[in-house]
Amino acid sequence: MNNTQELDKKYVLPTYARIDVEFVSGDNARLVDSNGKNYIDFTSGIGVVSVGHANKRVNSAICEQLSKLTHISNLYNIAPQAKAAALIVETSGYNMKCFFGNSGAEANEGAIKIARKFGEVNGEVKRYKIITLNHSFHGRTITTVKATGQESMHNYFGPFPDGFVYAENIQEIESLIDNHTCAVMIELVQGEGGVQPQDKQEVQNLAKYLKSKNILLIVDEVQTGVYRTGNFLASNVYEIEPDIITLAKGLAGGVPVGVVMTSLKDALSAGDHGSTFGGNYLSSTAVCEVVSILNEYSESGELDKTTQYFDSALNNFYAKYPNLFTQKVGLGMMCGLRVKDADTLSKIILNAKDNGVMVLKAGRNTLRFLPPLTITKEEIDEGFKSLNSAVSSL
């Protein structure tokens, strides 16, 4: 056991089933561990390192900002925060305003508070219920874990806030709406639930119905947003206009950030919500640079080319092992392969690590791929070569 492992075991709460590897450096989709071994990263920190590891433009922007100010608090105007909000809103194509926090869970907490206040002040009765989907994932706080439609995640931590109702699927939502419903909260592609996209027409029908009933549509884009599914937002792909959207993960290239954006521009007043660290000089500078890089990457057509190349490589890999994989799922660079059983999935992930490529698990039996959006063709080829070696040995 090396020193890091000893310290981790002694001082860090064991909330993660860690894989036995310690990374010390990276470059785009490449990683190097403490023994000098090289890897291709098909995980990007669970969709966070959207512009690759050690991105020079992001690092340069952060270093320049750190030499001036890191933090001053939201009691004062913060230039990079205002610029980041403008970039996010203008890139989204929606007429919204932003609130900055530090994580996806915080963004979803903000969305829930906006929806609850909307339900309190708009209607003859207090509207507080929020409908979410089974197999969803919305965060680890007490409120967002209750919003998550996975019963196993509700063990030990109750009592929970009231008002969350779970639908089996999009079609069931309408039947669960009552006079106390203020919002519906969905992921357009369920990430932790198995990289499962929703049906586009069903989502569009739902959005139209909710609008007619003055019920808010919240779209959790913590994992699907920031070009992960092709467009800047999966909401753009689905051609809907939600009332509230949440973002995090890939937005700042590894610096903690969360954003709730909403068309309800006057929903919150001074004192209704806040964050000590949210949108400070460090995180919002990172947001500005990451979004700018990805906007350029998308507009140049390089993102589409990379997505198509990765998809083709994944299709070829999937076709080679019909005895192991039962279905290919996902959207854009948020992809998955259904594995025949959970035990085989665990073996694939560990074998992949031993062969120099990092992949993820989603749900009970899905092999998940979330590579950096800037991954090169050479990195893709090398990664799948290593993955073939890992799988062929099973």
**Predicted confidence (pLDDT) per residue in 318-369, tens digit:** 999 999 999 999 999 999 999 999 999 999 999 999 999 999 999 889 999 9
- pLDDT reported for residue 122: 87
- Report the DSSP pairing between strands 129-133 and 181-186: parallel
Tokens of 76: 């004062």
Q: What is the mean pLDDT of residues 235-241?
A: 98
Q: What is the mean pLDDT of residues 65-70?
A: 98
Q: How far is CA 37 from CA 32, 66, 87, 356, in A?
A: 6, 32, 38, 8
Q: Is the pLDDT reported for residue 58 higher than 80?
A: yes
> Which has the closest alpha carbon to 184: 210, 208, 205, 221?
210
Over residues 260-304, the pLDDT tens digits come to: 999 999 999 999 999 999 999 999 999 999 999 999 999 999 999
- pLDDT reported for residue 64: 98
Enclosing H/E stretch for 118: helix 104-121
Let me know if the fold of 3-55+300-392 is the same as that of 69-299: no
d(CA 389, CA 320): 12
Q: Report whether 298 contacts 164 (CB < 8 A).
A: no
Q: Given strand 360-362, what is the order of strands in its sheet?
A: 325-331, 334-339, 366-369, 360-362
- pLDDT reported for residue 335: 97
- pLDDT reported for residue 182: 98
Q: Is the pLDDT reported for residue 1 higher than 60?
A: no
Task: Strands of the chain (E only): list them.
Answer: 23-27, 30-33, 38-41, 97-101, 129-133, 164-167, 181-186, 189-190, 196-197, 216-220, 244-247, 258-262, 325-331, 334-339, 357-358, 360-362, 366-369
> Which has the closest alpha carbon to 195: 359, 31, 41?
359
Rg of the chain over CA atoms, in angstroms?
A: 21
Q: What is the mean pLDDT of residues 58-64?
A: 98
Q: Is the pLDDT reported for residue 129 higher than 70?
A: yes
- pLDDT reported for residue 290: 98
Q: Is the pLDDT reported for residue 110 higher than 60?
A: yes
- pLDDT reported for residue 393: 81
- pLDDT reported for residue 258: 98
- pLDDT reported for residue 394: 82
d(CA 233, CA 239): 10
What per-residue string of b and e applies to 224-263 under the rule 16 or more CB within 10 Å gives b?
A: bbbbbbbbbbbbbbbebbbbbbbbbbbbbbbbbbbbbbbe
Q: What is the mean pLDDT of residues 103-126?
A: 95
d(CA 117, CA 260): 15
Residue 167 CB-density burial (10 A; 0-12 exposed, 13-18 middle, 19+ buried): buried
d(CA 338, CA 353): 19
> Which has the closest alpha carbon to 26: 49, 58, 60?
49
Over residues 45-56, the pLDDT tens digits come to: 999 999 999 999
What per-residue string of b and e applies to 148-160 under the rule 16 or more CB within 10 Å gives b?
A: bbbeebeeeeeee
Whole-structure pTM value: 0.96
Which CATH class, in words, describes the domain spanning 69-299? alpha beta
CATH number of 3-55+300-392: 3.90.1150.10
Q: CB within 8 A of 60, min separation 6: which ones?
A: none
- pLDDT, the chain, mean: 96
> pLDDT grade, residue 124 (50/70/90)?
confident
d(CA 332, CA 85): 24
> pLDDT grade, residue 123 (50/70/90)?
confident
d(CA 22, CA 270): 44
Q: Is the pLDDT reported for residue 2 higher than 80?
A: no
Q: Where are the domains of the chain?
A: 3-55+300-392, 69-299
- pLDDT reported for residue 239: 98
d(CA 324, CA 354): 19
Q: What is the mean pLDDT of residues 16-20?
A: 92
d(CA 324, CA 391): 9
